[in-house]
Amino acid sequence: MRRKEKKEKKEKETTERSKDVKDVKKEAEQGAPAVEKGAEEGAPNGAAATDQNGEFQVEPMELPPFEIIQGDRIDPFAFKFQFKNVEYSSGRNKTYLCYLVDCGTSDDGLLRGYLEDEHSGSHAEEAFFPQCLPHYDPALKYTVTWYVSSSPCSACATKIAEVLKARTNVKLSIFSARLFEWEEPEIQDGLKALHAAGCKLRVMKPLDFSYAWETFVENEDQPLNLWEDCKENYEYYHDKLADIIQ
């Protein structure tokens, strides 16, 4: 219990300093609408208006369309924040999925890149196969490796398991920095379904973070300085995953 309190306090203190650069820009651009006297009449969508009591109200603003971002290398600041294997993942409400794909042909070589999901629509995991392997060939043998900021949700795990059952020539390994809501029964069932479908599930160890940093991050030839409790948190999640899929 003492360890949980310590981690929770530490995360609360560092979350603001570790915010994703993109999130900071969005917050600056979407700052609270200014309320002025002249805005009482004819207020457009998202602007200030008045109710029957003469009090100012702000109409809800529509979020921009959901999208899956695909790229070659991740911003180093985003990687350090999103992939940090903390027990309490406050503010980490998106998924980064780094991938390597070996199609077994020397002509194609090794496919490498990352996906990032935004808002609450389709997740990076379910977008991977249609977006990164749109020309699936049943005659080829695919070896796919993911390094993800957190393990799949139950819905994504179920869909991935279905794909693996249908495409027996695809071998998938998933290395997760953290386990997403691992206490929930439906999450555990999803991880078990993945395991049963032949997916290799692993928790990222310190060497895996360094490898991902070198392979998928705009690191400018700078080494990754691992956080103090990286190994301790790896062992924590490793034991939880082992208990789930045993």
Q: Go through the domains of the chain in sequence order and give each one's CATH number.
A: 69-245 (3.40.140.10)
C-alpha–C-alpha distance, residues 56 and 181, integer Å = 39
The 3-state DSSP class for residue 110 equals: strand
Average pLDDT of the segment spanning 169-196: 95
Residue 6 reports pLDDT greater than 70: no
Average pLDDT for 153-164: 94
Q: What is the DSSP code string of 129-193?
A: HHHH-TT--TTS-EEEEEEESSPPPHHHHHHHHHHHHH-TTEEEEEEESS-TTTTSHHHHHHHHH
Q: From the centroid of its chain, how far is CA 18?
A: 16
**Phi first, then psi: what are they for 19, rounded to 5°?**
-60, 145
Quote the tokens at residue 132. 């990164």
- To the query of whether residue 125 is one of the catalytic residues in this protein, the response is yes
Q: Which pLDDT band holds residue 102 (cuts at 50, 70, 90)?
A: very high
Q: Give the tens place of pLDDT for each residue, 62-82.
A: 444 457 787 889 999 999 999
Which residue in 150, 194, 144, 137 sits closest to 172, CA to CA?
A: 144
Contact partners, residue 150, CB within 8 Å, separation at least 6: 89, 92, 95, 176, 177, 178, 179, 180
Q: Is the pLDDT of residue 12 over 50?
A: no
Q: How far apart are CA 118 and CA 127, in angstroms?
A: 12
Residues whose CB falls within 8 Å of the CB of residue 137, separated by 6 or more in sequence, listed in order: 103
Instruction: Look at residue 14 and tell me whether its pLDDT is greater than 70.
Output: no
Q: pLDDT value at position 107?
A: 66
57 has a pLDDT exceeding 60 = no
Q: Is the Cβ–Cβ distance between 222 and 70 less than 8 Å?
A: no
Annotated catalytic residue within 125, 214, 218, 232: 125
Give per-residue pLDDT as tens, 183-242.
999 999 999 999 999 999 999 999 999 999 999 999 999 999 999 999 999 999 999 999
